[in-house]
Amino acid sequence: MSSKSKVLITGASTGIGATYAKRFAERGHDLVLVARSVEKLEANAVELRQQTGVTVDLLPADLTTEAGLLAVEARLRDDASIGILVNNAGSNVGGSFVTQSIDDLTKLVTLNATSVMRLSHAVAPRFAEKGEGSIVNISSVLAFAPEWQTSVYTATKSFVLLLSQALQAELGPKGVYVQAVLPAATRTEIWNFVDEDKRPPLMEVSELVDAALVGYDRREPITIPHLHREAFWEVLEAARLTFLDDTSHITAANRYLKAT
């Protein structure tokens, strides 16, 4: 068994989650892999064990269901060797808001947002009490793009971003590190909803995860691998804080006063 913290990764059967599993295994971390597909998890586990020698536990679970969430929450609460949580599981629904079914959208919110909140909540008290631990949440640059007509997906990724920032502010002083990773267009299965001729240039998953792990090692609260000009993020954050400062008035702005 590795002396390093065990890592629990959701959505670990393919794409970003599977690559995170490979990279953490290469770093010598034992793993708990969560996904719906048992076959893909088993195949990944065999390869990781052979290549790296780490222990790989499988926890098949559908995080759109109460039973699946409860199972993963229990593992996070009870397994004190887990010191890193990667909330990667996520999906999208094809179509527009007016054509998507409410059942599909409800499952999407549960997977993309509710599971991140619940799994983080399951592990945060233990991390805070111990004074160490890491939570990595996969958001998206679409958190800043409501006009891109992916309404509920965008809303869930905004939730993940703001939750991560709030948790970092609350848990950071207690020794817990929270990172939000914001990919832009990346070659994952989520692009199956978009015709190939309409897809933008896509970053490879391995490049995304490797960059995100550089941010992780640097303890960045926000990591945006696709963003080349970091000053843009700094300007955005400065504008946000200035905006908040200007909302401290106790009188309405002149533009909202009735005309006389």
Element holding 134 (H helix, E strand): strand 134-138
Active site residues: 153
Which helix or strand (DSSP H or E) is residue 83 part of? strand 82-87
Question: Residue 183 half-sphere exposure, CB side, CA atoms within 13 Å?
Answer: 24
Do the beta carbons of residue 213 and residue 23 sit within 8 Å? yes
Three-state DSSP class for residue 15: helix
User: What 3-state class would DSSP assign to 34?
Assistant: strand
CA distance 91 to 9: 15
Residue pointed to by tokens 């233990």: 126
DSSP secondary structure letter of residue 49: H
Give the whole-angstrom CA distance, residue 12 versus residue 189.
13
Q: For the chain, report the end-to-end CA distance as a whole number of angstroms.
A: 76
